[in-house]
Structure 1
Amino acid sequence: MHLFLLSSLLFAFANAANFDVVNNCPFTVWAAASPGGGRQLDQGQTWSFNRLRTAYALNQFNNMDFFDISLVDGFNVPIDFSPTGGGCRGIRCAADINGQCPGDLRAPGGCNNPCTVYKTDQYCCTGSASNNCPPTDKSRFFKDRCPDAYSYPKDDQTSTFTCPGGTNYRVVFCP
């Protein structure tokens, strides 16, 4: 079973934002949105829904939507998150992270992030490392394969993206 929680994409929603979620994977995925619940998507299925733009990071500062893909808790399914109109760029993480996952990070059906495995200040950016938390060799494994994605908790400069408020989005699993 593959599960991907769309709220981990920090996407924001004043008017309704339309989302089309597509499963191109050769297996079933369980897509979820918060708020809104979730849906089982078999191969080739699409789930369309809309959300008010007053929730999360939609229509925020300067009427912009803010979004990201996070690998901070690990990886299990390749994804593309893109606007359906012009004016801004989409983001993706389509690398074979599961197949290339270092042995110490392997998990059934996925690849854990080092914070999940080691639970140390260095990898989790907590405690004494919370103010100054640089990338590690382990987080670079994820960043090298998915440059658009958050690879560790303080990876803001290269991992948060924006689109104008009013943008609609398409989420594709296994792009």
Structure 2
Amino acid sequence: MATLRFLCFLSVLVLSGASPLVLTVVNNCPFTVWPAIQPNSGHDVLERGGFALETLQHRTFHVPDRHWSGRIWGRTGCHYSRGGFFCATGDCGGRIECGGAGGAVPATLAQFSLHHPNTDLSSYSVSLVDGFNLPMTVTPHEGKGACPVVGCRVNLLETCPPALRVAHGGKVVGCKSGCEAFGTDELCCRGHFNSPATCKASTYSEFFKHSCPATFTYAHDSPSLTHQCASPVELKVIFCH
């Protein structure tokens, strides 16, 4: 999973209050989802990095009081086989507890940077830069001011262009980004294209943006997602909102 290309993301800014901030992961899908958590370098692995959530279940956990940043995604089609644990999408190396490892693309990705140093600001957003596998939103609770829900509520697997589809067991389970599908410098914003001036939207990123405008869809995308929000007590990551 791309780690560096999405480090500089424009997202929702929230001012953390005195109450501890918690993350809640909710599975509203009609099937089991295996959430995975990967911290950025130097940060704690939360909840051992992964667990199972059956349909209509949720799991709540505290984030460190100090600065924490990382990502959350959902794995689908998981099963035990030959001594390992493997998933059709989002697999993190054949184990249920990812332990800090990243996941295979395509996967819908929630990004967090909580308790920014010196300012105690926090930010969150949802990225389709690495493709799509599940509808996902991030919802703030008990905050003040303009605290929007961001993410993608639409099941893009149903409309994914044929060239971007990932199939498993006879059904579409993922929708690749243009970069993952074709690997060109232009679509991946590499080399000469690795700047805001040269990295542009493509027909593939526009497919994601059309249905899910409140997401990042390519490396230097900058949607209008900046809002001030005071003291959220909880941030909910919801699959199949």
TM-score by length of 2: 0.63
1:71 paired to 2:135: no
In 2, the alpha carbon distance for the partners of 1:39 and 1:136 equals: 35
CA deviations on 1:98-136 (whole Å, 9 max, x unpaired) are 000000000121101111111111111111111221111
Report the alpha carbon displacement of residue 86 of structure 1 after superposing the two structures with TM: 3.0
Bigger proportion of residues as helix: 1
Residues 27, 18 of structure 1: alpha-carbon distance in 2 compared, 3 angstrom cutoff: same
- Aligned match of 1:5: none
- Aligned match of 2:55: 43
Residues 163, 39 of structure 1: alpha-carbon distance in 2 compared, 3 angstrom cutoff: farther
Secondary structure of 2:29's partner? Answer: coil
Identify the match of residue 85 of structure 1 among 116, 119, 142: 142
In 2, the alpha carbon distance for the partners of 1:162 and 1:113 equals: 30
- Give 1:26-175 correspondences, 5 Å limit: 26-34=30-38, 35-36=45-46, 37-53=49-65, 54-56=67-69, 57-60=113-116, 62-87=119-144, 88-108=147-167, 109-131=173-195, 132-158=198-224, 163-164=229-230, 167-175=233-241
Residues 166, 22 of structure 1: alpha-carbon distance in 2 compared, 3 angstrom cutoff: closer
CA deviations on 1:60-108 (whole Å, 9 max, x unpaired) are 2743211110111110110121101132112120112100000000012
Q: Does the CA-based 8 Å contact 2:165-2:174 persist in structure 1? A: yes
User: Structure 1 residues 92-101 or 31-40, which shifts more?
Assistant: 31-40
In the comparison of the two structures, how many residue pairs are matched?
168
Higher RCO by CA contacts (8 Å cutoff, separation 6 or greater)? 1
In 1, the alpha carbon distance for the partners of 2:188 and 2:19 equals: 36
Secondary structure of 1:68's partner? Answer: strand
- Structure 1 alignment gaps of length 5 or more: 1-7
Secondary structure of 2:127's partner? Answer: coil
Divergent runs of 4+, >3 A: 8-16, 157-167
Q: Does the CA-based 8 Å contact 2:125-2:151 persist in structure 1? A: no
**Aligned-residue CA RMSD in angstroms?**
2.6
In 2, the alpha carbon distance for the partners of 1:22 and 1:163 equals: 22
Q: Which has the higher Rg, Structure 1 or Structure 2?
A: 2
- Structure 2 alignment gaps of length 5 or more: 1-5, 39-44, 70-112, 168-172
Q: Does the CA-based 8 Å contact 2:143-2:229 persist in structure 1? A: no
Q: Does the CA-based 8 Å contact 2:216-2:223 persist in structure 1? A: no
